[in-house]
Amino acid sequence: ESKNLSVDHRLTEVCELLEKNIPYYDWVGFYFKNGDKNELKLRAFAGEPTDHLIIPFGKGICGQVAVTNKNFVVPDVKAQDNYIACSIYVKAEIVVPLFVNGENIGQIDIDSHTADPFSKEDELFLEFVNEEIAKILG
Ligand code: SME
How sure is the predictor about 58, in pLDDT bands with cuts at 50, 70 and 90? very high
* Atom of ligand 1 minimally distant from the CA of 31: 4
CA of 100 relative to ligand 1 center, distance in Å: 22
CA of 9 relative to ligand 1 center, distance in Å: 22
Full residue range of the structural domain in which residue 17 is found: 2-137
Q: Name the DSSP letter for residue 48.
A: S
82 Rama class: left (phi>0) / alpha (psi -120 to 50) / beta: beta
Q: What is the pLDDT of residues 76-104, one digit of tens each?
A: 999 999 999 999 999 999 999 999 999 99
pLDDT at 123 over 80: yes
In the chain, the number of structural domains is 1
CA dist 79 and 100 (Å) reads: 32
| Residue 5: predicted pLDDT | 73
Q: What is the pLDDT of residues 61-78, one digit of tens each?
A: 999 999 999 999 999 999
CA of 52 relative to ligand 1 center, distance in Å: 7
Could you tell me which residues are beta bridge partners of residue 96? 108
CATH number of the domain bearing residue 12:
3.30.450.40
